Amino acid sequence: MCVVDPVTEIAKIAVDTVRLIQTVHVTTVENKVANYNAQQSINQAKIAERNAVYERQEGIEDAREKRLQAIKNMGNQKTNLASGNISISSLTALDLLEDEKTLGEIDALKIIDSSERRAQSYLDASQRYYSNAALQSYKAKQNSIIKSFGILGMTGNSVFEYYNNKRG
């Protein structure tokens, strides 16, 4: 028959209890950190989405200004042609005006394309932030599950060792 020293058994249970408390504390801290990181990622994603909307709106406004500038330039050209006694209905004068209108529209479309590309990069970043938030939430949940099983295992081992040693 195996002799069980009660002091040793109490010490083992005390050590396991301290480990249990430490594990619970670490799990709580890790979960709080993961949840905080997830919330920060969600906030960053929302900011990126707002930036994308702002970028698109800014592109639309810049393109509108470019079109207005082209119209103004066409008016100036008409004035200059008229002051030089050149008929606006002549082919060369019409070509100049049409070229100015076309170039203004091309510039406006380039501005919209550029702003759309920048907006899309913000939306891509937003998706990365949302993915990171999901990953952080998953980590917190997985960490809780794994640590819970670890806690149960430690508690079970202490009880098992105690009764196993007691029986001999």
Q: Using one digit for the tens of pLDDT, what is the confidence trace for 31-83?
A: 788 889 999 999 999 999 999 999 999 999 999 999 999 999 888 888 887 78
Whole-number Å distance between alpha carbons of 87 and 36: 71
- The more confidently predicted of residues 22 and 30 is 30
Average pLDDT, stretch 77-100? Answer: 76
pLDDT over 70, % of the chain: 68
115, 59 Cβ separation under 8 angstroms: yes
Residue 121's pLDDT band (boundaries 50, 70, 90)? very high
Average pLDDT taken over every residue of the chain: 80
More confident residue, 117 or 161: 117
Predicted pLDDT of residue 33: 85
pLDDT band at 98 (very low <50, low <70, confident <90, very high): confident
How confident is the model at residue 124, as a pLDDT?
97
**Segments making up each domain of the chain, as ranges:** 6-167
Residue-level pLDDT at 128: 96
pLDDT, greater one: 161 or 109 = 109
Residue 88 — pLDDT band, cuts 50, 70, 90? low
**Domain spanning 6-167, CATH architecture:** Orthogonal Bundle (1.10)
**Confidence label for 134 from pLDDT (cuts 50, 70 and 90):** very high
Q: Which residue has the higher pLDDT, 162 or 104?
A: 104
